[in-house]
Structure 1
Amino acid sequence: MIKVLIVDDDKLVRKGISSAMPWNEFNMEVVGEASNGAKALDFLKNQPVDLMLTDLAMPVMSGIELMRATRQLYPELHIVVLTLHQDFDYIQEALRLGAIDYIAKVQLEKEQFEHVLQRIHTRIDGLKSTNLKMPSQNEINVYYPNVYVLVSQDRKSEQAWPIELTIHGDEIRWEIERNSWMWAASHCEEDQLFNHLKESLNQVPQSTLLVLSDVQERTWSQIKNWIMNYTETSLFYAYNPNDRIISVSMNEEETFSIEPQDDDINRIKQTWFQTPWTHHDSYYGQLIEQFKSLRLHKGQLMGLLYSIVMEWNHLFAQTTLGRIPMIHSFDSWYEVEEWMKQTAAGIRKADEQTSYSQEIIDAVKKAVIILQNDLEQAYTASALSQQLNISRSYFSQCFKDLMGKTFNEYSRFIRVEKSKEYLLNTNNTIFWIAERVGYTDEKYFSRIFRELTGLLPSEYRQLRREVK
Structure 2
Amino acid sequence: MIKVLIVDDDKLVRKGISSAMPWSEFNMEVVGEASNGAKALDFLKSQPVDLMLTDLAMPVMSGIELMRATKQLYPELHIVVLTLHQDFDYIQEALRLGAIDYIAKVQLEKEQFEHVLHRIHTRLTGLTSSIRKMPSTNEINVHYPNVYALVSQDRKSEQKWPVELTTDGDVIRWEVERNSWMWAATHDEQDPLFHQLKASLDQIPHSTLLVLSDVQERTWSQIKNWIMNYTEASLFYAYNPEDRVITVSMNEEEILLKEPQDKDIDRIKQSWFQTPWTHHDAYYSQLIKQFTSLRLNKGQLMGLLYSLVMEWNHLFAQTTLGRISMIHGFDSWYEVEKWIKQTAIVIRKADEQTSYSQEIIHAVKKAVMIMQDDLEQAYTASGLSQQLNISRSYFSQCFKDLMGKTFNEYSRFIRVEKSKEYLLNTNNTIFWIAERVGYTDEKYFSRIFREMTGLLPSEYRQQGRGVK
Question: Normalization by structure 1: what TM-score?
Answer: 0.71
Deviation, structure 1 residue 356: 0.1
- Is the 1:256–1:297 contact (alpha carbons within 8 Å) kept by the matching residues of 2? no
1:245 equivalent in structure 2: 245
Percent of aligned pairs with the same amino acid:
79
Matches within 5 A, 1:338-377: 338-377=338-377
Structure 1 pair 360–327 and aligned structure 2 pair: CA distance change class (3 A):
same
Partners of 1:215 and 1:256 lie apart in 2 by 20
Matches within 5 A, 1:85-164: 86=124, 91=129, 94-95=130-131, 97-98=133-134, 134-142=135-143, 144-164=144-164
1:389 equivalent in structure 2: 389
Deviation, structure 1 residue 242: 0.2
Partners of 2:186 and 2:122 lie apart in 1 by 41
Structure 1 pair 444–276 and aligned structure 2 pair: CA distance change class (3 A):
same
1:261 equivalent in structure 2: 261
- Is the 1:135–1:220 contact (alpha carbons within 8 Å) kept by the matching residues of 2? no
AA at the equivalent of 1:86? L
Question: Normalization by structure 2: what TM-score?
Answer: 0.71
Matches within 5 A, 1:159-178: 159-178=159-178
- Is the 1:139–1:220 contact (alpha carbons within 8 Å) kept by the matching residues of 2? yes
1:192 equivalent in structure 2: 192
AA at the equivalent of 2:214? D
* Number of aligned positions between the proteins: 352
- Identify which range, 273-282 or 186-195, moves more after superposition: 186-195
Partners of 2:457 and 2:261 lie apart in 1 by 36
Map Cα deviations across residues 198-232 of structure 1 (whole Å, 9 max, x no partner).
11111111111111111111111111111111112
Deviation, structure 1 residue 430: 1.6
Map Cα deviations across residues 343-397 of structure 1 (whole Å, 9 max, x no partner).
1111111111100001100110011001101111111111111111111111111
> Match of 1:361, SS?
helix
Deviation, structure 1 residue 89: 6.7
> Match of 2:253, SS?
coil
Deviation, structure 1 residue 148: 0.9
Deviation, structure 1 residue 188: 3.4
> Match of 1:241, SS?
coil
Map Cα deviations across residues 94-115 of structure 1 (whole Å, 9 max, x no partner).
41644xxxxxxxxxxxxxxxxx
- Is the 2:305–2:326 contact (alpha carbons within 8 Å) kept by the matching residues of 1? no
AA at the equivalent of 2:184? A
Map Cα deviations across residues 131-168 of structure 1 (whole Å, 9 max, x no partner).
xxx552111112x2101111111111243422523425
Q: Does 1:180 align with 2:218?
A: no
Map Cα deviations across residues 215-264 of structure 1 (whole Å, 9 max, x no partner).
11111111111111111221101110000010011111223343222222
- Is the 2:152–2:205 contact (alpha carbons within 8 Å) kept by the matching residues of 1? yes
1:405 equivalent in structure 2: 405
Map Cα deviations across residues 75-134 of structure 1 (whole Å, 9 max, x no partner).
xxxxxxxx999376764xx41644xxxxxxxxxxxxxxxxxxxxxxxxxxxxxxxxxxx5
Q: Does 1:462 align with 2:462?
A: yes
1:333 equivalent in structure 2: 333
2:86 equivalent in structure 1: none
- Is the 1:416–1:449 contact (alpha carbons within 8 Å) kept by the matching residues of 2? yes
Matches within 5 A, 1:47-62: none
Unmatched 5+ stretches in structure 1: 1-5, 9-16, 21-82, 99-133
Deviation, structure 1 residue 446: 1.3
- Is the 1:256–1:294 contact (alpha carbons within 8 Å) kept by the matching residues of 2? no
1:125 equivalent in structure 2: none
* C-alpha RMSD of the superposition: 2.4
Q: Does 1:450 align with 2:450?
A: yes
AA at the equivalent of 2:138? Q
AA at the equivalent of 1:386? Q
Unmatched 5+ stretches in structure 2: 4-23, 28-120
Tell which structure's C-alpha radius of gyration is larger.
Answer: 1
Structure 1 pair 166–303 and aligned structure 2 pair: CA distance change class (3 A):
farther
Partners of 2:255 and 2:150 lie apart in 1 by 23
Partners of 1:408 and 1:288 lie apart in 2 by 35
- Is the 2:258–2:295 contact (alpha carbons within 8 Å) kept by the matching residues of 1? no
Deviation, structure 1 residue 306: 1.7
Partners of 1:84 and 1:367 lie apart in 2 by 40
Partners of 1:388 and 1:166 lie apart in 2 by 68
- Is the 1:96–1:225 contact (alpha carbons within 8 Å) kept by the matching residues of 2? no
1:420 equivalent in structure 2: 420
